[in-house]
C-alpha cells in the first residue's frame, strides 16, 4: 500500500483463530463506514457544509452456508446534525450511499445505514 502502514489480522475464535486482532470481515465493515465518512467529507467540502464531526458505529452479522457477512449495519452520528436542513441531509445521505465500497459490495449483502442527526 502507498501509506506503508501495516494492518494485522486474525481469524475469530469461532473460525480457528485467536481473535487477537481485527478479522478480515471486521475490516470489511470498517472499510464501508470509513468510505462513507470520507465521501461525505468530500461532498460537505464541495457544498460548504460544516460537518462538525461524524462518528460511525458498525455491526456485522455472519451467516453460514457459505460462511460470509450477511448484514452490515452502520450508524452515522453527525455532531452538528440537528442544524442541518433537509437539503443538506439529502446531500449527505446520497453521498454516503454512493461511496465506492458500498457500490462494490454484493447485492445479497444486506446494508442497513442509520443517519443520526443529533
Residues forming a β-bridge with 73: 59, 112
Q: Is pLDDT above 80 for 1?
A: no
* Burial degree of 74 (CB within 10 A; 0-12, 13-18, 19+): buried
Confidence at residue 2, expressed as pLDDT on a 0 to 100 scale = 84
Secondary structure letter of residue 37 according to DSSP: H
Q: Identify whether 106 is part of a domain.
A: yes
Residue 1 resides in a domain? no
Q: What is the pTM of this model?
A: 0.91
Q: Kindly state whether residue 7 falls inside one of the protein's structural domains.
A: no
Per-residue pLDDT, 21: 87
Q: Which residue matches cell numbers 470498517?
A: 30
Task: Report yes or no on 73 lying in a domain.
Answer: yes
Report the residue count for the chain: 118
77: CATH: 3.30.300.20
Residue in this structure with the C-alpha cell 470509513, named with its chain if needed: 34
Comparing C-alpha atoms, which of 101, 94, 91, 93 is closest to residue 46?
91
5 within some domain: no
Instruction: Answer whether residue 8 is part of any domain.
Output: no
Residue 112 lies in a domain: yes
Q: What percentage of the chain has pLDDT greater than the value 70? A: 99
Domain containing 82 equals 23-116
Give the range among 1-10, 40-49, 54-63 with minimum mean pLDDT. Answer: 1-10
Q: Report if residue 49 sits inside a domain.
A: yes
The model's pLDDT over 24-42, given as tens digits with 9 standing for 90+, comes to 999 999 999 999 999 999 9
Amino acid at each position: 500500500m502507498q501509506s506503508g502502514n501495516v494492518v494485522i489480522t486474525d481469524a475469530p475464535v469461532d473460525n480457528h483463530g485467536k481473535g487477537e486482532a481485527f478479522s478480515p470481515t471486521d475490516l470489511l465493515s470498517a472499510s464501508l463506514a470509513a468510505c462513507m465518512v470520507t465521501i461525505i467529507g468530500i461532498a460537505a467540502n464541495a457544498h460548504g457544509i460544516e460537518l462538525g464531526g461524524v462518528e460511525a458505529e458498525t455491526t456485522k452479522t455472519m451467516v453460514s452456508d457459505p460462511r460470509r457477512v450477511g448484514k452490515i449495519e452502520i450508524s452515522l452520528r453527525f455532531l452538528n446534525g440537528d442544524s442541518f436542513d433537509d437539503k443538506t441531509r439529502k446531500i449527505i445521505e446520497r453521498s454516503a450511499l454512493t461511496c465506492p465500497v458500498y457500490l462494490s459490495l454484493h447485492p445479497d449483502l444486506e446494508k442497513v445505514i442509520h443517519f443520526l442527526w443529533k
